[in-house]
Amino acid sequence: MDEKKFDWREALGWGWRTTKENLGFFVRLLLIFVLVELVFGLLTGPSGSGPSRAGLAVFLLVLLQVVARVVMELGMTRINLNFVDGQPSELRDLFGSGRFFWPYLGASLLYLLAIVIGLILLVIPGFYLAIRLQFFPYLIVERGMGPVEALRKSAAITRGSVWRLFLFSLLLIGVNILGLLALVVGLFVTVPTTMLAMARVYRNLLEADEPAAPEAVPAEPVQA
């Protein structure tokens, strides 16, 4: 039976309010992301010339594109956590978490492997593992955990919340579909809203798994 460790309405509502209050920042952030992807797409596209027609050059460009994308995804994770914790964020933070590239890559490969094995077995275990292990990027960025440690911790904090997380993920997908239908421009609102909401849920789950220790009450002096 699922435990109520997070309130999806509160998380989504907070994500929406935070996006509205910082809409200009998030629009610029997503434009940088799109621009980087577009530049690499043009360089590696079939209509280009020069390096884009050379096999080795294309391979290196694609490799560089993957690295840039991962670094930006890590940066997005850091920025979302900053907003959750009330910390300031800047555009340069998008490229400020590159040091976590290798742990993230290792965890991503293990995550994908676990899902594939689960899908091969009975399909449902694949989705189950995808939900249980999904928060590893936050743990790598926030706590500097290694691949295996981050996956284990994600499994720990999501225990008892799989069904609620599954429904919440479907809700976020639906929100982004609405953004896509709104002439695509709506994604500049729905994407940050849903990313922030998921980061909020991560924080709720982590706090539920690691309740703060009660403050010690000073002992009264013993009367002689």
Per residue in 19-28, pLDDT (tens digit) is: 999 999 999 9
Identify the band that residue 87 occupies on the pLDDT scale cut at 50, 70 and 90: very high
Of 115-129, 161-175, 185-199, 202-216, the least confident = 202-216
Would you say 201 and 165 are in contact if contact means Cβ atoms under 8 Å apart? yes
pLDDT of 143 > 50? The answer is yes
Q: Which two tokens stand for residue 218?
A: 């000073």
Q: 99: which DSSP letter?
A: G
Between CA 6 and CA 1 the distance in angstroms is 15
- What was the pLDDT predicted at 122? 81
- What was the pLDDT predicted at 54? 64
pLDDT of 46 > 80? The answer is no
- What is the per-residue pLDDT across 172-186, written as a single tens digit (0 to 9) for each? 999 999 999 987 889
pLDDT of 49 > 70? The answer is no
Please report, in angstroms and rounded to a whole number, the separation of the first and last CA atoms in the chain.
Answer: 54
